Amino acid sequence: MSTSPETSHASSRETTEGTVYTVTGGDWDEVVQSAARADDERIIVNMGPQHPSTHGVLRLILEIDGETVTEARCGIGYLHTGIEKNLEFRNWTQGTTFVTRMDYLTPFFNETAYCLGVEKLLGITDQIPDRATAVRVLLMELNRLSSHLVCIATGGMELGATTIMIYGFRDRELILDIFELITGLRMNHAFVRPGGLAQDLPAGAMDQLRDFVKTMKKNLPEYDKLATGNPIFKARMQDVGYLDLTGCMALGATGPILRSAGLPHDLRKTDPYCGYEEYEFDVPTTESCDSYGRFLVRLEEMRQSLRIVEQVLDRLEPGPVMVGDKKIAWPAQLAMGPDGLGNSLDHIKNIMGTSMEALIHHFKLVTEGFRVPAGQVYAAVESPKGELGVHVVSDGGTRPYRVHFRDPSFTNLQAMAAMCEGGQVADVIVAVASIDPVMGGVDR
């Protein structure tokens, strides 16, 4: 390719036709070369993707002038799993096994959003048992607590506040123990299924949940004592990662970032799902538009989640946890055995020993899956990081034609440049921590 020296970013060579410049590389090479031509004092620094403070394999390309960040860009794709594409090769129920692994800190939100979309296409939204819906809310609010605890714990650690990190993971362990009791796993549960849940709450779950609520009510004030009024903590976070309401709206930022700019936008209130309109809770906001405000919002959201968990426990009525239609309800009979969650032996003995029709039906349901009417829907839930939406398309078969997620971490990362440019290098870590991105959701 023959071009002018101003646009090349590789060595040149002389030919009989004149000087030839070979253009190679991509956007990052362009950034490096243009910076090098513009000012010898400015340098390009790679922060990540193997940096301990980049929240997973996130690459930040920073152009710095001294200690000041003059340009910041995100490099993503280092954790790409192909989850959305893989969904097209599995039946509708198996899809939950994939989506739960996207944002691995918020598995129940991924599962619920996906199942709400599938249930809309099936036309069974109103047929989901009340108990199944209430348990979904219970698990999502516990998950909101665990996600915020990780955000506050890791964010504190990156500022040098190691005590808050220890406290955060201590409390998260209590929640993961409950998840393990209910689903058999600490994460990647695939517990929420189209039509309801994989199984009901096991014996002892209610008592452990009530004990947990009491413990967390005692532990949450410790975060206030450790951080909220701490002058060092405030000095590192106030006016850092600033993004006002106009910027949030322009970039599509949602969740604590948007609420820290003063807008009380929460899908649980504005577009309720799973019966959230029946629960009493507040949507916390601040006007600071900075990292400290996002910390305060998350801390208050944890208190509100505890309120919702208490209300679920008080109103949880006995009943089924899977839709009554046996052409959809799979797996209908699970039990917790010594090797974890699996098919109930009684159910297997029943369908294999007494009813050939039941065995054939079970075989077809497990191997082929149920059919979903052709169409497309959008369903969204309020995840700890913002609006988690799913666009589900069916061609009438037993597998999704296309499933695409609007992951809040992916959208919110767009705000990184606006938050960091003009600030200090040390403040980049604080800003990214306040966004709380999880690369499993970004690189799905």
Q: Which two tokens stand for residue 330?
A: 């799979």
Q: What is the DSSP letter of 287?
A: S
pLDDT band at 351 (very low <50, low <70, confident <90, very high): confident
Buried b (16+ CB within 10 A) or exposed e, 265-293: bbbbeeeebbebeebebebbbbebbbbbb
DSSP H helix total and E strand total for the chain: 18, 12
Integer CA distances (angstroms), 109 to 186, 247, 285, 347, in order: 15, 26, 22, 30
Q: Is pLDDT of 7 > 50?
A: no
Q: Residue 243's closest CA among 33, 109, 418, 380?
A: 418
Task: Write down the pTM of the prediction.
Answer: 0.86
Which region among 344-353, 365-374, 432-441 has the lowest average model confidence (pLDDT)?
344-353
Q: Which two tokens stand for residue 117?
A: 């979309």
- What's the CA gap between 279 and 269, in Å, rounded? 10
Q: Is pLDDT of 371 > 80?
A: yes
Show contacts of 258-265: CB within 8 Å, 24+ apart. Answer: 258/386, 259/283, 259/284, 259/285, 259/286, 259/297, 260/285, 260/286, 260/288, 260/289, 260/290, 260/293, 260/294, 260/296, 260/297, 261/287, 261/289, 261/293, 262/286, 262/287, 262/289
Q: At what angle do helices 130-158 and 425-435 cross, to 10 degrees?
A: 170
Residue range 322-344, pLDDT digits in tens = 888 877 876 656 666 666 666 77
Q: What is the DSSP letter of 202?
A: P
Structural element, H or E, at residue 210: helix 205-223
Handedness of CA 57, 58, 63, 69 (dihedral sign): negative
In this structure, are residues 327 and 370 in contact, taking their beta carbons and an 8 Å threshold? yes
Q: Which two tokens stand for residue 297?
A: 């919002």
Show contacts of 211-219: CB within 8 Å, 24+ apart. Answer: 212/174, 212/175, 212/178, 213/306, 213/309, 213/310, 213/313, 215/174, 216/145, 216/171, 216/174, 216/302, 216/306, 217/306, 219/167, 219/171
Residue range 378-418, pLDDT digits in tens = 999 999 999 999 999 999 989 999 999 999 999 999 999 99
Q: What is the DSSP string of 250-261?
A: HHT--THHHHTT
pLDDT band at 179 (very low <50, low <70, confident <90, very high): very high
- What's the CA gap between 144 and 146, in Å, rounded? 6
Tell me if the bond preceding 331 is cis, omega within 30° of 0.
yes
Choose between 143 and 357: higher pLDDT: 143
- What's the CA gap between 207 and 222, in Å, rounded? 24
Residue range 230-249, pLDDT digits in tens = 888 888 988 888 999 999 99
Q: At what angle do helices 205-223 and 291-315 cross, to 10 degrees?
A: 150
| Mean pLDDT calculated for residue range 266-294 | 92
Q: Is 339 exposed, middle or buried (0-12, 13-18, 19+ CB in 10 A)?
A: exposed
